[in-house]
Structure 1
Amino acid sequence: MKLKYWIYAARIHTLPLSFSGVTLSFFISKSRTNVNIIAYILCIITALLLQILANFSNDYGDSITGVDNFKRIGPKRTIQCGFISLSEMKKAIYIFSILSFFSGFFLLCETILWKNFFIFIISFIGIFICICSSIKYSIGSYPYGYVVGMGDLFVLIFFGFFSVEGSYFLYTYTLCIDIFILSLSIGLLNIGVLNINNMRDLDNDYENRKYTTAVWLGIKYAKLYHTFVISLSILLGIYFIFLNKKTIYQWFFFIFPVIFLILHIKNIIYMKEKKLFNSELKKLVMLTFLYEFSIGISFIN
C-alpha cells in the first residue's frame, strides 16, 4: 500500500513550519480587528499544499541529481528507496501544483478580489511565484537550492515574509512594521532548520556539487552561522514583544520557548556526530512551532 510512502514523502514533521506562520498572524490579527475565518482556513490549506509540493519536488530533484544516495546521512527518500517511481512523483508534483494554484486563487477571491483589483493581480502573480519556487528549489537546470545562500534567502522570503506579513495583509488589508520584524524573526528560525539539514549532509552535498551555505562555510563556521540566525531571531522577537507588550504574561509565553532555543544552540555547537543533527532538526521544527504559537496565543484576549 503506497499511501504510507506518500505520507512519508510529504515529510509530515516539516509541515508545522508551513501553517504556524499563518496561524501566528491570525492570532495577532484577531486581537486587532475582525478576521475572516474562511481566509485563515484557506491560508492553512494553501500553505500546506505548497509545503508538500516543495517536499515532493525536493525528493524528485535530489534523486535525479544524485544528491539522494546511500551515503547521505539524512532520512532515506521514497524515490531513492524505490517506494515511489520518478513518473509517479512527477504526476504528484503536477497535481499539487494545480491544487496549490486553485487554493491560492480561492484565497485571493475571498480576501482581495472585491477590494482592490490591482493588488489582486499582483497577488495572483505571487501564487505562480510561490508554486515555481516550491518546484525550482531542487528541479531544473539551475536549482536555486544548489547555489550558496539562495536557499536561505528564499526560506526567509516564503516562510518569513510571505507566511507572516503576507497572511497578515490578507487578514487585515494593512502592512505593519512590527509584523515585518516578527516575520524576519520567524524566517530566521526557518533558515536555522534548513541550515541543520545542510550541516548534516555537508559532505555528500559537496561531492554532488550542491553548494549550500553550510558547504561554503564549512562545519565550524556553519555552526557559528546557526548561532547567529537563531540569536538574531530571538532578539527580533524581544523587540516585537517590547513594541506590543500589554501584560507580563506575553513575556512569560515568549521566554518559555526561548529557553529551549538557547539549549538547542548549545547542542549544535558541541555536536560531533552528524547523525545527531537529525534529532536537532526535528527539535528545531517543533521549537519554531512552539515559538510562533506562544507569541500568537499571548495576543488572545
Structure 2
Amino acid sequence: MATPAQWIEGARPRTLPAAIAPVLVGTGAAAFLDGFVWWKALLALGVALFLQIGVNYANDYSDGIRGTDENRVGPLRLVGSKVASPGQVKAAAFTCLGIGAVLGLVLCATSNWWLLAVGAASLAGAWFYTGGKKPYGYRALGEVAVFLFFGLVAVLGTTFVQAEELHWTAVAGAVAIGSIACALLVANNLRDIPTDMVTGKRTLAVVLGAARSRQLYAALIALAFILAALSALATPWALLALIALPLGVKAVRVVVSDAVGPALIPVLKGTGLTELVYAIGLAVGLALGG
C-alpha cells in the first residue's frame, strides 16, 4: 500500500505549473479585455489541476503495465516501483479525470455548451497519451498534444469563458505557455532516451536524437520570451514576463551542456518554475495593461 507521501509524489507535483500557468495567462488576457470573472477563473484552475493530476496517474498506470518505468531514471512511479497496484492507480486516474470533467461541465453551463466538445477531446487526449493499444505518446506526438491542450486550449479557453471574446495577446500567451510546456516534456524525454529506446517508447526525443532535442528545448524557451516582447506592442506591462528570463537561461544552459540522466532532473523543476514565473509576470502585465 502506497503511503500518502508516495501518492503525492506519484501525482508529479513538479508538473503542476503546466496546469496553473495557462489559467493565469488566460485570466490575465480576460482582465486585459475587462472580462475577469474570479469564480470562473477558479473553476478553470480546478479543471486544469485535476486533469493534470489525472493524466499523471494515467501515464503512471499505462507505462507501468507496459514495463516502461521499471528501469527509469527520475522520480517515483507508483506502478513501476510496485508500491501501488495498477488497479489502484487506474482508479486514482479516473477519479481525478472525473472531478475535472464535473468542474468542466459546471463551467460549460455558465458559458457555452460547445465547449463540451473541447472538454471531451481533452479527456481523450489525457487517457490515450500513454493508454490504449496505440498511445500517441509512443508515436512522437506527445509534444503536439501538450502544446494544444496545455497551451492553446487551456489559455484561450480560460480567456473565453470569462471575457466571451479573444484578443491576439491571448493567442500569443497561449503559444508561449504551450512552448514552455513542450520544453518541459522535451527535457523529460531527453533524460529518458536510453530507457525509452530499450522499451520501444518512440518519443520525439528518441526520433530527433539528443543533440536536436537539446536545440529544440532551447528554441521553445526562446520563443516564449520573444512572444512576451511582441505582446509589449499591446501593453509594455507584458514585459513583466521577462522576470522569468534568468530561470529560463539557467535551464537552457544545463540542457545544451550535454547533461544526461540524473543531471537533467533539476531541469524539470527549473522549466516548471520558469513557466510559472513567466505566467505570473505576463498575467499581471496583461491585467495592468487592460
> TM-score, normalising length from structure 1?
0.91
- Structure 1 Cα separation of the partners of residues 58 and 132 of structure 2: 10
Give CA-to-partner distance per residue, 1:41-71, whole Å, 9 cap, x none. 110111011001100001001111111012x
- Structure 2 Cα separation of the partners of residues 228 and 87 of structure 1: 39
Aligned twin of 1:298: 285
Given that 2:235 and 2:286 are in contact with CA atoms closer than 8 Å, whether structure 1 keeps it comes out as no
- Structure 2 Cα separation of the partners of residues 6 and 44 of structure 1: 21
- Structure 1 Cα separation of the partners of residues 230 and 9 of structure 2: 38
Aligned twin of 1:46: 47
Aligned twin of 1:146: 138
- Structure 1 Cα separation of the partners of residues 107 and 241 of structure 2: 30
Given that 1:39 and 1:170 are in contact with CA atoms closer than 8 Å, whether structure 2 keeps it comes out as yes
- Structure 2 Cα separation of the partners of residues 27 and 108 of structure 1: 20
Aligned twin of 1:284: 271
> Structure 2 matches for 1:93-242, cutoff 5 A?
93-112=93-112, 120=113, 122-148=114-140, 150-242=141-233
Q: How far 1:234 sits from its partner (Å)?
A: 1.7
Paired amino acid for 1:99: I
Give CA-to-partner distance per residue, 1:69-103, whole Å, 9 cap, x none. 12x11223111222211111122222223212111
Aligned twin of 1:89: 89
Paired amino acid for 1:146: Y
- Structure 2 Cα separation of the partners of residues 223 and 54 of structure 1: 25
Q: Does 1:268 align with 2:255?
A: yes
Paired amino acid for 1:53: G
Aligned twin of 1:35: 36
Q: How far 1:298 sits from its partner (Å)?
A: 2.1
Given that 2:30 and 2:162 are in contact with CA atoms closer than 8 Å, whether structure 1 keeps it comes out as yes
Q: How far 1:30 sits from its partner (Å)?
A: 1.9
Structure 2 residues not aligned, in runs of 5+? none
Given that 2:70 and 2:81 are in contact with CA atoms closer than 8 Å, whether structure 1 keeps it comes out as no
- Structure 2 Cα separation of the partners of residues 22 and 94 of structure 1: 22
Given that 2:21 and 2:177 are in contact with CA atoms closer than 8 Å, whether structure 1 keeps it comes out as no
Structure 1 residues not aligned, in runs of 5+? 113-119
- Structure 1 Cα separation of the partners of residues 15 and 204 of structure 2: 20
> TM-score, normalising length from structure 2?
0.94
Q: How far 1:242 sits from its partner (Å)?
A: 2.5
- Structure 2 Cα separation of the partners of residues 83 and 92 of structure 1: 14
- Structure 1 Cα separation of the partners of residues 94 and 259 of structure 2: 40
- Structure 1 Cα separation of the partners of residues 19 and 64 of structure 2: 24
Aligned twin of 2:76: 76
Given that 1:5 and 1:84 are in contact with CA atoms closer than 8 Å, whether structure 2 keeps it comes out as no
Given that 1:39 and 1:111 are in contact with CA atoms closer than 8 Å, whether structure 2 keeps it comes out as no
Paired amino acid for 1:211: R
- Structure 1 Cα separation of the partners of residues 123 and 216 of structure 2: 29
- Structure 2 Cα separation of the partners of residues 141 and 53 of structure 1: 19
Calculate the aligned-residue CA RMSD, in Å: 1.5
Given that 1:257 and 1:287 are in contact with CA atoms closer than 8 Å, whether structure 2 keeps it comes out as yes
More displaced stretch, 213-222 vs 174-183: 174-183
- Structure 1 Cα separation of the partners of residues 93 and 15 of structure 2: 18
Q: How far 1:204 sits from its partner (Å)?
A: 0.5
Q: How far 1:9 sits from its partner (Å)?
A: 1.4
- Structure 2 Cα separation of the partners of residues 124 and 272 of structure 1: 42
Aligned residues: 287
Paired amino acid for 2:89: M
Q: Does 1:16 align with 2:17?
A: yes
Give CA-to-partner distance per residue, 1:193-230, whole Å, 9 cap, x none. 00000000001101111111110111111111111211
Identity of aligned residues (%): 23
- Structure 1 Cα separation of the partners of residues 259 and 45 of structure 2: 37
Secondary structure, counterpart of 1:179 in structure 2: helix
- Structure 2 Cα separation of the partners of residues 275 and 184 of structure 1: 29
More displaced stretch, 48-57 vs 26-35: 26-35
